[in-house]
Structure 1
Amino acid sequence: MIFILIAGLTKIDTSNFQPFAPFGVHGVLRASAMLFFAYVGFDGVSTLGEEIKNPGRDIPIGLIGSMLITITLYCLLSATLCLMQPYSQLDSDAPFTIAFEAVGMSWAKYIVAFGALKGMTTVVLANIIGQARYFTHIARTHMAPPFLAVINEKTKTPVNATVIMTIANCLVAFFTSLDILANLLSIATLFIFSQVSIALLVRRYYVSGETSSSDRNKLIGFLVLIIFSSIGLAIVWVVSESYIGYTVMAVLWFVSTLGLKLSLKQARKPKVWGIPWMPWLPAASILINIFIMSSIDGSSYIRFLVWTAILLIYYLLVGLHASYDAAVENTKARNVAAEMANVEAGVAPVTAPNAEEASRT
């Protein structure tokens, strides 16, 4: 990347920046939605919590730091590429390779190709690390085959999950078009980020057994309005671009977020580090994610719904029951261990709760 920046900036032409946005705001948002998958991976830091000495401090630093570095590098590389060649001459498959060849630096394309190959290898390995740990946590609840949760005694890493995910990634990448993968991954990522933002609001403003029913209903109502106004704003953008529609939905989103801020107190505050500017930042995240999702084509949503349906069927027919049975067995094992410890300590045994009831709690 450093070579591309230094060598590329020696061949720039500022006139290539005209027109600055040839496809308008619509083009920018479509590109943002399609290329969102390029930022996927920075959140992989959060999957390494078990392997970090001080996760409460290091994970936020890693997430924010990696995101800032990624944004800075991508912006610099994009600006360099656009200054090297007019946008109409950019190659979608090998942009920097063709750009260096066009400015008379044909020898540089070999360095760029080698760097791209190494970069792709690094990205694949980084993504496999995160995905393997996702599956390890899922397998621990028996929603996935338990052998995926096996940890190697020497390396202390999930070897089985890593091998399976490596093979799966290679097969998918080999047989699937990059455009399809990019759009599908962008939808899934934006959808998950929206869910995380909703979950964050629920966690901050609701505590089971402590939050009153009236406050709970207020929270649900404001969340529904925030989501509805975000979807409405995206629909207006795609369908009509009506300024009245923009105004109504934007005001509804603002009033809903303000109402949540003023009418409810935070029921839980983080002890170490937490998201600031509550509830504005999570609400803005929901709005932006849904707005960007509206720029992705309909066929990608069909693929996303098909995969979601398949996974939902698996969860309802297999994963849910296996997870429940595993929870019951774990509860029984804990109760037996507690009784044995009481017997060894000479303490009168306490009647253990019903295993199924305990698992529900």
Structure 2
Amino acid sequence: MPDSGLFSPKRTPDDQHPADFKMLRTLVHKISQKKSSDINDIAQSHLARILNLFDLVGIGVGTGLGLGVYVIPGTVSRYYAGPGVLTSFSIAAVASVIAGLCYAELSARFPRAGCAYIYSFVTIGELVAFIVGWTLIMVYVLGTASIARSLAGHIDFIANNSMSATLKDELPITAEFLSSYPDFLAFGITLLLSFVLAFCVKIFSSIMNITAAINFAVLLFIIIAGSLQADINNWQIQENQVPEGTEGGKGGFMPFGILGILKGAAIYFQAFIGFDSVASTGEEVINPQRNIPMASMISLMTVFCGYFGVSGVITLMLPYYYQDADVPILYAFQKTSWGWAQWIVSIGAISSLSTSFLGGMFSLSRLLYAMSSDDLLFKFMGKVHPRFRTPFIGTLCAGVLTGLMALIFDVDELIDMMSVGALVAYSVAAACVLLLRYAKDADKYTETEHEDDHFHIKDIVKQIMNTEKLKKPTKLSTFIVTSEIILYIVLCVLVSQLVIQARSSIGAADPLAITGLVILLFCMICIMVSIGIQPTSQATVTYKVPFVPLFPAIGILINIFLMMMLDGVTWIKCGAWTLKGLVIYIVFGFCCHYKKWKSTSNTSPRTSRNSVVVQKT
């Protein structure tokens, strides 16, 4: 067993009882192994590389301009933020832009299907990669199911809710955790669009390009027409003006206070998924190192403008406590003198939600393909069609699973889980950028530059301040940066909990609370300064996140704070989902493939079929 890098392992027990420790060594290697980052391995793909920059922008914009425009503004303004939805959106946008920058660098380094799953596999190891991938499966399934329900809801709204009323009367569902009726329309839409996605990526990209143009035109109409119906008094409603029996908070621009703003930001965060879908195309893009980062930035800016305009307009058109949580824009136009405009909005909503659904399903199918290719899920999910060169079985399986969720489950009850999953994935991506930026470049060192694996306290203290002014990362500097990132994440959790739990004491300038907060923030700043002065990697990348380590560190802090804002029930649900995933990982991996590991445990790590290398963590 290789040295840990900090202390030499005791060999006596292993030497005396090698058979007893063989399985333990195998398991340790299994959960800590990393995927090869060799550019030749990365360039190989069984999928067709047919997407260009224009296609990627269409996918990013089409995916992003969905729930965040036509559904989430109504929910957040009605129950959490009121007119302050603009503030919630802005906070989520800052974190999303930073996450988008991190995704752009990582996709330029590793243009593979799987997004945060593949990034963590290359950077951290298999166990963390599986947890991230399993969490993203939850995000994509719930996200696409909620989009399918919303799409069916918009169609039903146009039909005066006749379909839902009939199904509630004829096939009611009484279980609390299920929907009040089976949504067959959402199920049918899911299967139809999944079938299109499974057998032709080029048709999918063409649909995304066309509908993205339609969406953009409709959004311009909504913003202009809504501005003509705007009333600034709707941002200045006082508490005594809120109708009795209506949950309207304290009135004003932030009727539910700062906590409502932050909870709204945590929910809004899930809407920024365009750059995630763009990064999922890593194995199907022409010149991915250039096109993926560019498309991610263009998509983020376009989606930002659309969200900001729509969120402001609907709260000016209608008081926040009258907003419809399911179809806010349609409802707002219906209540104004421009009721005819709801037909134009309906075209945009159906078009936008359809493309957003396709983008989510695309990301889900490519994630299943990547995980099955790495033997972490059933192999058949990664099977590529010989003619269309798409993971058609995985796509169809994803469609059936999502369709069943949309058919019978009340997705709104699970929507907060999406935010947790997305925030976890984006935090891991930011951490991966830091780890890679300060990682030791093994291929740039010769045998004469071999370093001792034994680190002394004196050397560690000197390297924390980089007194030697090193220009190239070493094992010691890499170890220090890794440890500091872990400590920084812990401090982010402590700061978030302190601010949330002791907010009244901090607001009242309680000396104890203020002192604790200042100490924690000071420690975080010191860690960032120490990381910033460490030697950086010499690897050449087509795109790099600016202002490292500041931008990734801010992203991690905001993501963790937003996660801490979500309630305990949401965390219990996510914990249960993660526990199920770990059971699958243990049973499927350790039991089904133990013979394979045992037979190959003594072979060279670079000979494994998926180019997985065993590295020290």
Normalised TM-score (structure 2): 0.52
Q: Report the Cα offset of residue 320 of structure 1.
A: 5.3
Write out per-residue CA displacement over residues 102-137 of structure 1, whole angstroms, 9 at most, x where no aligned residue: 222222223323432222221111111111111111
Given the alignment of the two structures, is residue 193 of structure 1 paired with residue 442 of structure 2, yes or no? no
Q: Is the Cα contact below 8 Å between 1:152 and 1:158 reproduced in 2?
A: yes
Q: Report the Cα offset of residue 227 of structure 1.
A: 0.7
Distance (whole Å) between structure 2 residues aligned to residue 106 and residue 44 of structure 1: 35
Q: Report the Cα offset of residue 268 of structure 1.
A: 4.1
Amino acid corresponding to residue 229 of structure 2 in structure 1: K
Look up the match of 2:110: none
Distance (whole Å) between structure 1 residues aligned to residue 408 and residue 498 of structure 2: 36
Distance (whole Å) between structure 2 residues aligned to residue 282 and residue 134 of structure 1: 24
Q: Report the Cα offset of residue 291 of structure 1.
A: 0.7
Q: Report the Cα offset of residue 208 of structure 1.
A: 7.1
Deviates more, 1:309-318 or 1:245-254: 245-254
Q: Report the Cα offset of residue 194 of structure 1.
A: 0.8
Once the two structures are superposed, the pairs formed by residues 195-234 of structure 1 within 5 Å of their partners are 195-207=428-440, 212-234=474-496
**Gapped runs of 5+ residues in structure 1?**
333-352
Q: Report the Cα offset of residue 212 of structure 1.
A: 4.0
Look up the match of 1:15: 233
Change (3 A) 1:268 1:226: farther
Write out per-residue CA displacement over residues 273-295 of structure 1, whole angstroms, 9 at most, x where no aligned residue: 12221111111111010011111
Given the alignment of the two structures, is residue 66 of structure 1 paired with residue 299 of structure 2, yes or no? yes
Q: Report the Cα offset of residue 326 of structure 1.
A: 6.9
Deviates more, 1:248-257 or 1:135-144: 248-257
Distance (whole Å) between structure 2 residues aligned to residue 297 and residue 61 of structure 1: 36
SS of 1:51's equivalent in the other structure is: coil
Q: Identity percentage over the alignment?
A: 26
Given the alignment of the two structures, is residue 250 of structure 1 paired with residue 483 of structure 2, yes or no? no
Distance (whole Å) between structure 2 residues aligned to residue 106 and residue 271 of structure 1: 52
Q: Is the Cα contact below 8 Å between 2:498 and 2:517 reproduced in 1?
A: yes
Look up the match of 1:349: none
Q: Report the Cα offset of residue 13 of structure 1.
A: 1.0
Deviates more, 1:62-71 or 1:33-42: 33-42
Q: Is the Cα contact below 8 Å between 1:9 and 1:80 reproduced in 2?
A: yes
Change (3 A) 1:325 1:54: farther
Look up the match of 2:391: 158
Q: Is the Cα contact below 8 Å between 1:5 and 1:80 reproduced in 2?
A: yes
Distance (whole Å) between structure 1 residues aligned to residue 605 and residue 478 of structure 2: 28
Given the alignment of the two structures, is residue 83 of structure 1 paired with residue 313 of structure 2, yes or no? no
Deviates more, 1:151-160 or 1:278-287: 151-160
Look up the match of 2:536: 266
Look up the match of 2:170: none
SS of 1:20's equivalent in the other structure is: coil
Write out per-residue CA displacement over residues 50-69 of structure 1, whole angstroms, 9 at most, x where no aligned residue: 21111011000111111111
* Paired residues, number: 339
Change (3 A) 1:99 1:135: same
Q: Report the Cα offset of residue 148 of structure 1.
A: 1.5
Distance (whole Å) between structure 1 residues aligned to residue 540 and residue 570 of structure 2: 37
Amino acid corresponding to residue 250 of structure 1 in structure 2: L
Write out per-residue CA displacement over residues 36-83 of structure 1, whole angstroms, 9 at most, x where no aligned residue: 221124311111112111101100011111111111101100011111
Amino acid corresponding to residue 84 of structure 1 in structure 2: M
Match of 1:120 among 353, 358, 362: 353
Amino acid corresponding to residue 220 of structure 2 in structure 1: I
- Segments ≥4 residues shifted beyond 6 Å: 323-329
Q: Is the Cα contact below 8 Å between 1:150 and 1:160 reproduced in 2?
A: yes
Instruction: Name whichever structure is richer in helix by fraction.
Output: 1
Looking at both structures, which has the greater relative contact order when contacts are Cα pairs under 8 Å and sequence separation is at least 6? 2
Look up the match of 1:354: 603
Q: Report the Cα offset of residue 325 of structure 1.
A: 6.7
Distance (whole Å) between structure 2 residues aligned to residue 324 and residue 56 of structure 1: 37
Amino acid corresponding to residue 196 of structure 1 in structure 2: A
Q: Report the Cα offset of residue 7 of structure 1.
A: 1.7
Deviates more, 1:277-286 or 1:241-250: 241-250
Q: Report the Cα offset of residue 261 of structure 1.
A: 0.8
Write out per-residue CA displacement over residues 281-311 of structure 1, whole angstroms, 9 at most, x where no aligned residue: 1111110100111111111110100010111
Q: Report the Cα offset of residue 91 of structure 1.
A: 1.9
Write out per-residue CA displacement over residues 243-277 of structure 1, whole angstroms, 9 at most, x where no aligned residue: 43432322222111111112x11134333112221
Match of 1:133 among 361, 366, 371: 366
Distance (whole Å) between structure 2 residues aligned to residue 311 and residue 53 of structure 1: 34
Given the alignment of the two structures, is residue 53 of structure 1 paired with residue 286 of structure 2, yes or no? yes
Look up the match of 2:42: none
Look up the match of 2:375: 142
Given the alignment of the two structures, is residue 235 of structure 1 paired with residue 235 of structure 2, yes or no? no
Q: Is the Cα contact below 8 Å between 2:423 and 2:563 reproduced in 1?
A: yes
Deviates more, 1:113-122 or 1:296-305: 113-122
Change (3 A) 1:157 1:184: same
Look up the match of 2:245: none
Look up the match of 2:340: 107
Q: CA RMSD in A?
A: 2.5
Change (3 A) 1:217 1:49: closer
Distance (whole Å) between structure 1 residues aligned to residue 477 and residue 604 of structure 2: 33
Write out per-residue CA displacement over residues 200-248 of structure 1, whole angstroms, 9 at most, x where no aligned residue: 2112212375654432342233113311221112101220023434323
SS of 1:269's equivalent in the other structure is: coil
Deviates more, 1:170-179 or 1:196-205: 170-179
Amino acid corresponding to residue 224 of structure 2 in structure 1: I
Change (3 A) 1:327 1:78: farther
Look up the match of 1:341: none
Q: Is the Cα contact below 8 Å between 1:226 and 1:253 reproduced in 2?
A: yes
Q: Report the Cα offset of residue 138 of structure 1.
A: 1.0
Q: Report the Cα offset of residue 179 of structure 1.
A: 2.9
Amino acid corresponding to residue 372 of structure 2 in structure 1: A
